[in-house]
Amino acid sequence: MTDMTNKADWSSRRKGDAFVVHFSGSWVNGQPKPDMHLLHADIEAEPELHTLHLEADHLVGWDSSLLIVIRQLCEWAESQGLSTHLEGMPDGVRNLIVLSRAVPENKQTQDTCPDDFLSTIGETALAAYRGLDGYFAFLGQLCIDLFAFIRGRGKLRSKDFLLILQAAGAQAVPIVSLLSFLTGLIIAFIGVIQLQKFAADIYVADLVGLAVTRELGAVMAGVIMAGRTGAAFAAQIGSMQVNEEVDALTTFGISPMQFLVVPRVLALILMLPLLCVCADFVAMAGGMVVAVTISDVSVLQYCHQIQVAVELSDLFVGIFKSVIFGLIIALAGCYRGLNCGRDASSVGQAATSAVVTSITWIVVADAIFAVMFHILGI
């Protein structure tokens, strides 16, 4: 039989504008519990109450069942406009209740009325403003750390930096070469079919050389690296954010910007121009395969026409673009990683956002450069 002397019980009394509830007995699973609706009725019967005090001096034992009752009672009292005080409860109960209420509940429901059109526009504008504010703060801190590194006040771990260089450079050569070769092959195939109508097959070298060196080489390398390396940067740093490794770096006095972002930015700025040059030559080789195979152009004629049509300025235009594209990819990947949430799904969202942001700004920057170089006559 159940020991009725230790059964879960409560008593209540009014004290001024406060209502005091005293818990006693054994509040553990398996013990019968009193009906808390009776307590609600007692509280509602008292007029002009402001606070609810919970006490427990003679508890025989307690477990999660007491915590559930107290948590539900606190929520009910707050919905009635009463402030709750737990000073009379044991320290363990009080600490666990505070911990359980540390993260607010998501109060959004599906039946919530949607905002009107103007409110949606305003919230979107505010979100964009906050995003720009955070992005400019990120850029400012990066500039400070880069200048500190240039002046010798910042250090990079050489082993980590070399690993990042390898991942962003040598390991990306196969995929960049393959896609660049196919791109050059496609451009040459489309061009030679049209040029054969005018017996101008030789000018396929001009088409492939100028298109690849000025535009497609840098853009293709940038897009590939955005999907490959930019997403990797966001996922790596985002995983560190989820595992609180970034917080640990800050606690130890190590700047996450200097330790995580600066090496990746420098690595992509150094490696993407080399990948761009590789993409240029491989794409021209792909165009040569098509030109020699389906037209009367020889290898020597193709190479000579490339030398006539493509100048060093054209090659340098693509290299300059690739430097900017590398900076864009590194900034997008690192920024999304550092601003990642604390759950696993946030890592995937950060990686996706890094890729979309990188490719968008690569296209925008390429359009700006095209207009600018045309005005300058480059």
Any idea where the domains of the chain sit in the sequence? Answer: 4-100, 141-376
Cα–Cα dist 300/80, whole Å? 89
**What pLDDT shows up at residue 363?**
94
- Give the residue among 366, 232, 219 at the shortest CA–CA distance from 279: 219
Phi, psi (deg, nearest 5) at residue 151: -80, 0
**What pLDDT shows up at residue 125?**
87
**What pLDDT shows up at residue 49?**
81
- Into which CATH architecture does domain 4-100 fall? 2-Layer Sandwich (3.30)
**What pLDDT shows up at residue 2?**
39
- Could you say which residues of the chain have pLDDT below 70? 1-6, 102-115
pTM of the model: 0.68
Task: Name the token pair of 369.
Answer: 């450069």
Average pLDDT of the chain, as a whole number: 85
**What pLDDT shows up at residue 5?**
53
**What pLDDT shows up at residue 105?**
55
Pairing of strands 83-88, 18-27: unpaired
- Gyration radius of the chain's alpha carbons: 33
Beta carbons within 10 angstroms of residue 317's beta carbon: 20
**What pLDDT shows up at residue 4?**
46
